[in-house]
Amino acid sequence: MKKIIFLFPILALVSCYNAEHNCKDFKNGKFKFEFEVNGVKKTTIFERKDSIEIETFEGKTDTSTIRWVSDCEYVLQKKHPKNMAEEKAISMKIVTTSKDSYTFEFGMVGSEEKQHGKVFKIE
C-alpha cells in the first residue's frame, strides 16, 4: 500500500507534462526530411509558404497545396498528380516541436494507418 501512495505523486507529475507545440513556427520555411527505404537513407527538401509546399526529391520537384485544419494539422494535396496514388490527400499532424525541428504523424486522409517522422528546419 505504501508503494502505491508513493507512486501517486510521481504519476500526477508525469501526467501534467505537455509536449511543446510551437507549430506556427513551422508554417513557413525550408525543411529537410530524412527517411529510410529498404536500408537506403533518402532525403527530401521542401519549402512551405502558408498554403503551398514545393518539394524536391531525387532531382524532381513537385508542388502541393496545403489546407491548414488547425495550427498543428494540415492536409497536403498534389497539384499535378501523376497517378491515382498521388491524387489522394495526405493528413499531417505535428505532434511535438523543438527550436529547429518537429515530429509528425501522417497518413492518407480517411485511413487509420499512420507513419511518423521528424523534420528539420534549415532556413
Q: What is the pLDDT of residues 14-63, one digit of tens each?
A: 444 455 578 999 999 999 999 988 999 999 999 999 899 999 999 999 99
pLDDT digits (tens, 9 = 90+) for 63-115: 999 999 999 999 999 999 989 888 999 999 999 999 999 999 999 998 889 99
Res 85: pLDDT: 85
Give the global pTM: 0.78
CA-closest candidate to residue 93, choices 117, 61, 110: 117
- Give the separation between CA 111 and CA 120, rounded to whole angstroms: 26
Res 66: pLDDT: 97
- Displacement of CA 114 from its chain's centroid (Å): 11
**Contacting residues for 106 by C-beta, under 8 A, at least 6 apart:** 90, 91, 92, 93, 114, 115, 116, 117
